Homo-oligomer: A and B are copies of this chain.
Amino acid sequence: MRIILLLSSCLLISTGILNAQNKSIAESLGYPANAKLLILHADDLGVAHSENRASMSALDKNAVSSASIMVPCPWFPEIAAYASGNPGKDLGVHLTITSEWKHYKWGPVTSRDSVSSLTNKDGYFYSSVDSVATLGSAAEVEIELRNQVKKAFRSGVDVTHLDVHMGAAASTSEFVKAYLKVGREFHLPVLMDKRIHAIEDPGIRSLLDDRTIVLDKLYMEEPEDYKKGPKEFYTQVIRNMEPGLNCLLVHLAHDDEEMQGVTKEHPDYGATWRQADFDFVTSKECADLLKENNIKLVTWRELRDKIVRAE
């Protein structure tokens, strides 16, 4: 079965999930039950120096509240060093089992013989989600996801959460189980929205409990939004945000030679796109909009420590 739970535009209505103590998530974090909470989240850290520079700058300015890291990528050590030097920053693992760009590639952190269903003849991850969903063994996905999390911890990242690059590690029900299982092992919240409850697979249901964090709404700019104008898209998202736990995923980089090279022949989520995201989230306009709409930026660390790992 081919499903992508986590990275499509979000149509679900907030219902106010309750946690173990029958408090809403907002109350568990110390906010009124009807607060509008937002994890403003940068994806793809580690993929390139340009992405790292822009994302570290946005984290330093508190323009985003959280971010996640692609552990198999060449520039991971730069972000691991940043994480060690900035232990207060909210950094998770952006679990990665694809290598999607044309001229710039990476492969698994696990020795390839142990996860051979996840790589092509050159030892790289497949470019597309379709390929890994079709050819990848769920057992090997689980090994690779676990090793990415282990490597992040070992490298000095106090991992606050897990999420999935391109939705690949949640693209089949078996992969979803691996994703949830690895989150449980490390007592980490994993990004998902409420569609998870619509899945009847007993294996998946058995991995959900009253400490499971489920977003009310997940937002991410899609190509059609970008065409209409990124600023318009983000402005509408913020103005129309409802009470509950919201997450907005952004992709931050500079429109420079490196990022143009990485994203060659792929304008969607390309260098100009990422520069526009950076410009928006670091703008006074964005800060003012969040304030005017009474939106509280929260972190996965709060969710991890006050709910998932609550005594």
A residues apposed to B, CB below 8 Å: 49-50, 52-53, 74-78, 81, 102-106, 109, 111-114, 121-123, 151, 154-155, 254, 256-258, 261-262
Closest to A81 in B: B103
- Given A49-B262, A50-B257, A258-B257, also A122-B151 (CB < 8 A): yes
CA–CA, A103 to B151, complex, Å? Answer: 15
Q: Which residues from B are CB-within-8-Å of A52?
A: 261
Closest to A80 in B: B103
Asked if B49 and A77 make an inter-chain contact with CB atoms under 8 angstroms apart, the answer reads no
Asked if A50 and B105 make an inter-chain contact with CB atoms under 8 angstroms apart, the answer reads no
Asked if B104 and A78 make an inter-chain contact with CB atoms under 8 angstroms apart, the answer reads yes
CA–CA, A151 to B112, complex, Å? Answer: 15
Q: Which residues from B are CB-within-8-Å of A49?
A: 104, 257-258, 261-262
Minimum distance in angstroms from A8 CB to a CB of chain B:
29
Q: Which residues from B are CB-within-8-Å of A257?
A: 49-50, 53, 254, 256, 258
Asked if A104 and B74 make an inter-chain contact with CB atoms under 8 angstroms apart, the answer reads yes
Q: Which residues from B are CB-within-8-Å of A102?
A: 77
Cβ contacts A to B, 10 pairs, < 8 Å: A53-B257, A74-B104, A75-B103, A75-B104, A75-B261, A77-B104, A78-B104, A81-B103, A111-B112, A111-B113
CA–CA, A261 to B256, complex, Å? Answer: 13
Minimum distance in angstroms from A74 CB to a CB of chain B:
4
Q: Which residues from B are CB-within-8-Å of A254?
A: 257
Asked if A77 and B103 make an inter-chain contact with CB atoms under 8 angstroms apart, the answer reads yes
Name A258's contact: one of B76, B81, B258 (CB within 8 Å): B258
Name A111's contact: one of B53, B123, B154, B155 (CB within 8 Å): B123
Asked if A109 and B81 make an inter-chain contact with CB atoms under 8 angstroms apart, the answer reads no
